[in-house]
Each structure stands twice: as structure tokens, then as C-alpha cells.
Amino acid sequence: MNLRDGVKTAENKVSSETLKLSEFVIDKRKSVTDRLESYEDILNLEVGDTALNRAKALEREFDIRQLYIKYEGDNPTGTQKDRIAFAQVYDALRRDFDVVSLATCGNYGVAVALAASLAGIHCKIYIPESYHTDRIEEMQSLNAEIIRLPGSYEDVVAQSTELAKVNEWYDANPGATNTPLQISAYAQIAYEIFEDLGDAPKYCAVPVSNGTLLAGIYRGFVSLYKRGKTSRIPKMIAASSSYKNPIVQSFKKGLDHCKDLEPKTIKETKYNEPLINWHSFDGEEALYAIRESEGEAINVSDKKLREMSSFLQKKEGFRILPASTAGLIALLELHEQQPMEPDRYVAILTAKY
């Protein structure tokens, strides 16, 4: 296989102020409290507060009112992964870890590599032998150590998690003990949407792979609703590559648990790779969010991913990774099947192209 996952044009640039703060964080002669405060300043400067834009061209094209796009490509490495990467490296710094390790197929590895480099923590990145990503050079340029392991992505996650445990490294893998921290980091997206809209949208559509992102956004909106900040919790729409994601397939079968798929039935392409897996590490959390919010799960074809990516560049000026448009496509398909009344609708675009 010659798969290409990731953001090809991201430059991973950070501000000069961040670089100065990083020098302070890396200096172990400083107190841990002061170093943590400086790293928190880095996190606040660089991560989150991404744009929420009214997609008027899409509204006119698809006859839908008040459609908003939450553009996660504004993060430093060009994806939503920066949110959990920086949160976990902050945690690793707080707990005095010298090494952070994880498995990746591309985007997440770059995010953790950047976050770790700014903290002065060594980063070990495990990649399946069969995967080829344009982002390896970026990881290496950020001083990450790349290790190839045999097996699927899920296999490599399991192996790297075990290595982290044995060697007492910080394990930044999905589905590990840090899942609550990852979900909390993604909950910030809900808070940002609320700040911009003043309430929760009626629907929030999200691309899903492991399910952590959707679960985190849902948890954020639940927290806002329970605190009386919003009048409702949005219906969560999960979207992924057709018949290649356990969360979507389990929901469609009416299951009360996230059932693994048969690995041999999944075919990877350069368009669907960020979305697919046979085991979703936070699938139970995501499936719960869809059910509890009375949401929906949608299969999306490679053809539609490609077409929407091109359409967004032409009509809205966004260069979006095709897989990152899955949630938007799902939302528009639901509207086509049963026209939605005028309200506010949000689709998360997870990565630039």
C-alpha cells in the first residue's frame, strides 16, 4: 500500500513569542511551576479558538439556512489533533516524563512531535510498516524518533502502549488512560462554538475514526447544557468512510455497543485512510453520544469526499483534506432527505489540505 494521510502543506509555524516561551519551558533549571505556566501560555497562544464561519455559498447551493463551518485547520499543524497533543504534553510535563510515545498514521504524530519539541520532551512515534505519509519528514524535523512496526494501525497502538508501560513513558495513544484528558481537550470545541453562537446549534456534524473528537464535543455541549448555558444539546452526526468504521456501522445496526469490523473487509485509499479502522478506540463513547443526542451516523463515499473538498476550495476558499469533509457531507445529505427548518447547523472540518 502507498497511503498518504495528512496535511501536505502545513508548515507547523509558531509565533516568535511561543519560541521564546519554549526556551523557558525547556530550561530545567527553572521551577516546574514556572515552566508549566509558560507552556500553558504556549497552548493558549497556539491551539484552539479556531474560526467559525457562516458558509453562505453552501447555504445557497444546498438551500439550507445558517450553516456554519468550524475550521480546525487554523491549529499550528493544520488539524484538530493539536488540541489533544498539546494537552497531553502539558500533562506529561506536569508529571515529569522525559518521553512521550504514540502510534500514528500521520497527523497526530506531527501534532505530538511539535508539542513535545516545544516542551523539550523526547517523542517516540510508531508507524505501521505498510503506511507511507508525507508527514514523516515533518515529524523528523521536529526531532521525533520514528519507529516502524509490523501490523495494522490498531496492532501498532497496542504494541506502543505496551512499550510505554514497560519503559515508563507517557502513553499518548487513543483508548489509553488519557482518554478523559483527550475528551476534555476536544470539549473546548463545543465551548468555542457556544461563545460564537450564544447557544448550541441544532445539529453538530463530525468526521469519525476513533470517535474521540465526537465524544469530546458532545461532552462539552452536555456540560454547557447542565450549567444552564445553552437551551439544548445538539444532535450529533457521525460520518465516516462507507462501511469502514465501527461506530457508524454499529449505530446503523442498532447495537448498544461498538462492534469491531472484520479487518480483511476494509480497503484503504488515500482519501478514506484518516477515517477508517476495524476497531474504534473510543467508539463506545461516540456511540453513546449519537444515541443520547438522538443523532445520526452516515456512510460517505470517496467520490463525495473528493467532490466536497474541491467544492469548498472553489466556493468557500478552504483547502480541506477530503476525509475532513465527511461530517459536512452527512449534514447536507440529511437536509436533502428531509429539509431542515431554519436554525443553526455546524459542521466540523478537521484538517487543511
Summarize pLDDT for 242-275 with one digit per residue, the tens: 999 999 999 999 999 999 999 988 988 889 988 9
Of 124, 148, 171, the residue at which a domain comes to its end is 171
Decide if pLDDT at 187 tops 80: yes
Residues 147, 188, single domain; the answer is no
Provide the pLDDT confidence category of residue 318 given band limits of 50, 70 and 90: confident
Residues 270, 190, single domain; the answer is yes
pLDDT tens for residues 141-186? 999 999 999 998 889 999 999 999 999 999 999 887 889 999 999 9
Query: What is the pLDDT, as a whole number, of residue 10?
Result: 46
pTM, 2 dp: 0.94
Residues 66, 195, single domain; the answer is yes
Helix (H) / strand (E) containing 36:
helix 32-46
Helix (H) / strand (E) containing 194:
helix 179-197
Residues 96, 226, single domain; the answer is no
- Name every residue whose Cβ is closer than 8 Å to that of residue 26 and which is 6 or more positions away in sequence: 119, 120
Q: How far apart are CA 231 and CA 225, in angstroms?
A: 7
In a domain, residue 10? The reply is no
Q: Structural domain of residue 149, as residue ranges?
A: 16-44+81-171
Residues 38, 160, single domain; the answer is yes
Residues 274, 295, single domain; the answer is yes
Residues 183, 256, single domain; the answer is yes
Of 171, 205, 239, the residue at which a domain comes to its end is 171
- Name every residue whose Cβ is closer than 8 Å to that of residue 164 and which is 6 or more positions away in sequence: 101, 170, 171, 173
What rounded mean pLDDT belongs to the chain?
Answer: 93
Decide if pLDDT at 3 tops 50: no
Residues 261, 123, single domain; the answer is no
Decide if pLDDT at 5 tops 60: no
Residues 183, 164, single domain; the answer is no
Locus of grid cell 500553558: 40
Inter-axis angle of helices 212-226 and 179-197, to 10 degrees?
A: 60
Query: What is the pLDDT, as a whole number, of residue 36?
Result: 98
In a domain, residue 9? The reply is no
3-state SS class at 301 = coil
Its sign, for the CA torsion 178, 114, 204, 252, is negative
Determine which of 5-9, 16-20, 26-30, 176-180 has the lowest per-residue pLDDT on average. 5-9
In a domain, residue 197? The reply is yes
Contact criterion met (CB below 8 Å) for 351 and 273: no
Query: What is the pLDDT, as a whole number, of residue 353?
Result: 84
In a domain, residue 59? The reply is yes
Residues 316, 199, single domain; the answer is yes
- Longest Cα pair distance anywhere in the chain, in angstroms? 62
In a domain, residue 241? The reply is yes
Residues 147, 249, single domain; the answer is no
Beta bridge partners of 148: 127
Residues 111, 185, single domain; the answer is no
In a domain, residue 24? The reply is yes
- What is the CA 289 to chain-centroid distance, rounded? 16
Of 171, 201, 232, the residue at which a domain comes to its end is 171
In a domain, residue 61? The reply is yes
CA–CA distance from 156 to each of 82, 102, 190 (Å)? 21, 9, 31
Q: How many domains does one find in the chain?
A: 2
**Whose CA is closest to 198, among 224, 179, 171, 169?**
224
- CATH assignment at residue 98: 3.40.50.1100
Q: How far apart are CA 93 and CA 337, in angstroms?
A: 49
In a domain, residue 11? The reply is no
pLDDT tens for residues 188-231? 999 999 999 999 999 999 999 999 999 999 999 999 999 999 99
